Amino acid sequence: MTVRLKPVGEQIVVLTGASSGIGLATARALATRGAKLVLVSRNEVALQEIARDCEVKGGRAIAVAADVGRFEDMERVADRAVQEYGGFDTWINNAGVAIFGTVEQIPIEDHRRLFETNYFGVLHGCLVAAGHLRQHGGKIINMGSVLSDRADILQGPYSASKHAVKGLTDALRMELEEDRAPIQVTLIKPSAIDTPYMEHARSYLDSPGTKNPPPSYDPELVARAIVFACEHDRRDIIVGFGGWALSMMGTLAPRLTDYAMEAGGRILQETSDPGCMERRDNLYKSRSDGTERSSLPGGSRKTSLFLEAQLHPASFLPGAALAAAAGFGFAALQLLRPRAASPRRRSTGSH
């Protein structure tokens, strides 16, 4: 069934995890385009301030404090959207938490709590959104990760949850399509992004802080991908070539990738800089929010040609075709160029 998506400026969008990082960058980007927003997170104080900021930027916004791990909270979010705006057109499942440590170090209850947010939070949002969107059509956008394809050392629970989100998203997409429901489903897979993710994480490592393995990308790039997905049909969008390269390496040479991650995983993810301590450990309750980026040094990449090639492939085809033609031409010249006769080897009489 053909699904017609409205322009962002005419959409009502539910956005979870809106109080920091990718969610906050996305809220601001959507507001700038004039969208009506239902902003969701556990931090009501931060949400109220962000809602006011979105209004200033040209959108409309309401703040709904809720825990995505509770199905009844997501039903309440949908009810608020209906009461305030008459419904919604796009539901973005972005909320997530993280834990650093080995699989054996991390207590079972922490594994379970992470899955309550990262997997069941997405499931709850998908179920509530699908039930509503079946009536008039729309979009579900789930936040995966490049770790949906390749697990990372010291982030086992997070990697496992993102694998689960990918499986859920793919299954839901097929089932909605089989049922001819007017709903599109997109999975966004960011690479390492410069957000408070590392500072918000619970950590069992010996180091004072945790950090992103390079290269790190700016959260506004992910927001750009999400806003694009609100209006366009894309199965998956990967943000950042670095993460995609890691995923491909893991697919083509899994054991080599294992060895590389074992050798460099701790060096690339541990740091002596604890960052902003007020943000540390939001696994069970919200902490300091309201910022898009981390307080850690290093910065991030502000552009990604790899992302642009996915969003606007036609714009990149001429250049790619020209490069391919030049490559083939060079190869042909090399093959056709006369070659000097190579001297014959003298037979030694032995083999």
> By CB neighbour count within 10 A (0-12 exposed, 13-18 middle, 19+ buried), where does 13 fall?
buried
Q: Is 158 a catalytic residue?
A: yes
The token pair at 199 is: 């500072």
What DSSP line would sit under 61-81, residue for residue? EEEEE--TT-HHHHHHHHHHH
Q: Which residue has the tokens 């040094």?
A: 297
Q: Which of 158, 204, 259, 284 is catalytic?
A: 158
Closest CA to 101 of 265, 289, 313: 265
End-to-end CA distance of the chain: 69
Sign of the C-alpha dihedral computed for residues 56, 192, 108 and 205 taken in this order: negative
- The count of C-alpha atoms lying within 13 angstroms of the C-alpha of 48, restricted to the half-sphere facing its C-beta, is 2
Residue 105, token pair as written in the block: 């170090």
Report whether 41 contacts 121 (CB < 8 A): no
> Edge to edge, what strands does the sheet with 138-143 contain?
60-65, 36-41, 12-16, 90-93, 138-143, 183-190, 236-239
Give, to the nearest 10 degrees, the angle between helix 44-56 and helix 21-32: 30
DSSP H helices, 142-240, are: 156-178, 197-200, 219-231
Q: CA-CA distance, 112 to 106, in Å (whole number)? A: 10
Q: Which is it for the CA torsion 330, 335, 336, 338, positive or negative? A: positive
Quick one: which H or E segment has residue 321? helix 313-336
What single-letter amino acid sits at 70? R
Active site residues: 158
